[in-house]
């Protein structure tokens, strides 16, 4: 069901892109938006992992650098039936983790120094199993595509703000100015909402995968409680464009609406994990 929802949301996101292209430039606008999405997705496919790892100063480690983390990732990846991903440590006291890479054969998991300090082995295993769940479900690629399309929508919407100053008399090419401007304001908001909805669906799926891989849903529940508290106490200096990648939202805000959050409420995630434990996953 979550996979169907994600597919539908990606289709909606693509439709928003094409609609804003049409309102700005008619058929030519649709074509421009389509090719822009292709180019940006090509870049996201090949380079998004390198960009995000560099963004956070992540350092790749060998087994001898951190035997504990390396052993946990290796064991979990074997249980999940995945190739051993590259393992990185992010030099930050903020407690968090993420996965990246275009496919399981080119994947990486990253843990902050902070998360290694506050979680026990069972909790860290469950967190790494969650990240491997993202890799197995191809969430790292899906999230990159969703973020890229949403970024393209925002860029085209910014361009649309200049329509009144173009002075073109070609109604077919520029469309209705009022409608185009309205779409230019609303499309980025709608795109952000859809992108965040995709992110929340994939988090639920990765939590479920963690329960299956680690057999420790209650350990993940415990880890989420610790990480949620730590995110408020020691915030991670995260780029909003990559906040969806982390296991808990690094951009903690008390007043944020669930609609505008990249992650489901921690309380709901914990409740589901306890349900999985009751079903015999632990």
Respond yes or no: is residue 131 known to be catalytic. yes
Query: DSSP state, 93?
Result: S
Asked if 226 contacts 116 with a C-beta cutoff of 8 angstroms, the reply is no
Secondary structure element (H or E) that encloses residue 111, with its range = strand 107-112
Sequence-ordered list of residues with C-beta below 8 angstroms from that of 180, at least 6 positions apart, any chain = 23, 24, 160, 163, 174
Residue 245 φ/ψ region, left for φ over 0, alpha for ψ in the -120 to 50 degree band, beta for the rest: alpha
Torsion sign across C-alpha atoms 147, 148, 151, 156:
negative
Selected catalytic residue, list 105, 123, 131, 267:
131
Reading the block at residue 89, the tokens are: 């440590």
Crossing angle of the two packed helices 121-136 and 177-214, in degrees rounded to 10 = 130
List active site positions.
Answer: 131
């Amino acid at each position: 069901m979550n996979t169907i929802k994600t597919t539908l949301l990606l289709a909606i996101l693509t439709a928003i892109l094409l609609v804003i292209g049409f309102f700005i430039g008619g058929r030519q606008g649709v074509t421009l938006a389509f090719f822009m999405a292709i180019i940006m997705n090509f870049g996201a496919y090949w380079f998004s992992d390198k960009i995000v790892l560099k963004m956070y100063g992540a350092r790749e480690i060998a087994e001898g650098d951190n035997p504990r983390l390396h052993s946990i990732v290796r064991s979990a990846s074997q249980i999940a039936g995945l190739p051993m991903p590259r393992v990185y440590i992010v030099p930050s006291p903020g407690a968090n983790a993420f996965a990246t890479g275009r496919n399981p054969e080119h994947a990486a998991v990253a843990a902050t120094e902070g998360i290694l300090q506050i979680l026990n082995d069972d909790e860290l295993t469950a967190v790494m199993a969650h990240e491997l769940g993202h890799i197995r479900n191809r969430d790292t690629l899906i999230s990159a595509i969703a973020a890229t399309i949403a970024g393209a929508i925002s860029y085209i919407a910014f361009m649309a703000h200049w329509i009144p100053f173009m002075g073109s008399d070609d109604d077919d090419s520029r469309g209705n100015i009022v409608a185009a401007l309205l779409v230019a304001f609303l499309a980025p908001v709608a795109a952000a909402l859809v992108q965040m909805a995709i992110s929340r669906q994939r988090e639920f799926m990765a939590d479920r995968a963690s329960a299956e891989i680690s057999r420790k849903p209650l350990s993940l529940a415990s880890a989420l409680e610790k990480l949620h508290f730590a995110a408020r106490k020691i915030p991670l200096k995260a780029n909003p464009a990559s906040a969806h990648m982390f296991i808990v939202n690094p951009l903690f805000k008390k007043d944020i609406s669930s609609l505008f959050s990249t992650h489901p409420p921690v309380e709901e995630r914990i409740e589901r994990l306890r349900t999985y434990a009751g079903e015999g996953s632990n």
